[in-house]
């Protein structure tokens, strides 16, 4: 979209999920899950097995990994969660990279004067570290993690906080999970689902307002959601 058409762009703020939406973090998350599993002699999982487990936060992801390899009690889960987080923090951007075209889309939104924020169920400190290590932190007006508000998606509370911290106005959200869609809908925002993300179910079952197969489709899709002409 030509930046001269910014007056017709219908959104002031676009919020993004992080894992599976802006960044492909699957390699590093799978390595952290497998580190925790190996510490109790469980079989390791492939990256493709771990991808559908991502999106609900580290504990949720680990609990699913443990369920897939024999189950676990809460006390052991507490211990293994710490092992997972320690390993992940020490190896947080070994494989993690933006999805193709993501940065170009962010540049185009910024050129149109759109404010951009992140709401992720990842712990805020870990998300901030990833963005800093990848040199992306300055692109976002706010970062809200799963622990920032004391509640994560699918609650609408952190999505509403993102919009407020980005200055308000008309907003939309971009994500890849049912948590993203439920939270955005509960907050009254239209939502775009990424077909290339870490899907827990077929993307068409998420109930998003639109689906994109790649970031080249995002900028043309958003005005249609906003009713722009």
The pair phi, psi for residue 89, each rounded to 5°, is -60, -35
Contact 180, 14 (CB under 8 A): no
> Of 17, 24, 176, 180, which residue is the catalytic one?
17
Contact 181, 208 (CB under 8 A): yes
- Residue 17 falls in the annotated catalytic set: yes
Q: CA-CA distance, 101 to 106, in Å (whole number)? A: 9
Other residues' Cβ atoms within 10 Å of the Cβ of residue 207? 11
Other residues' Cβ atoms within 10 Å of the Cβ of residue 209? 17
Question: What residues are paired with 193 via a beta bridge?
Answer: 175, 211
Candidates 138, 171, 137, 140; CA nearest to 156 is: 171
Catalytic residues: 17
């Amino acid at each position: 979209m030509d930046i001269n058409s910014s007056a017709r762009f219908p959104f002031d703020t676009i919020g993004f999920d992080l894992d599976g939406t802006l960044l492909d973090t699957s390699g590093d998350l799978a390595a952290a899950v497998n580190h925790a599993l190996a510490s109790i002699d469980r079989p390791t999982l492939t990256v493709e097995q771990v991808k559908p487990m991502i999106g609900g936060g580290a504990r949720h992801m680990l609990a699913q990994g443990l369920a897939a390899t024999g189950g676990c009690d809460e006390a052991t889960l507490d211990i293994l969660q710490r092992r997972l987080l320690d390993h992940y923090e020490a190896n947080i951007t070994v494989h993690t990279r933006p999805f193709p075209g993501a940065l170009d889309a962010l540049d185009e939104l910024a050129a149109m004067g759109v404010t951009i924020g992140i709401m992720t169920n990842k712990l805020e400190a870990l998300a901030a570290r990833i963005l800093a290590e990848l040199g992306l932190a300055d692109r976002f007006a706010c970062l809200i993690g799963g622990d920032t508000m004391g509640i994560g998606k699918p609650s609408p509370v952190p999505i509403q906080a993102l919009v407020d911290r980005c200055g308000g106005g008309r907003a939309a959200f971009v994500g890849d999970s049912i948590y993203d869609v439920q939270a955005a809908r509960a907050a009254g925002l239209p939502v775009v689902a990424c077909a290339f993300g870490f899907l827990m179910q077929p993307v068409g079952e998420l109930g998003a307002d639109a689906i994109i197969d790649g970031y080249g489709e995002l900028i043309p899709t958003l005005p249609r959601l906003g009713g722009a002409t």
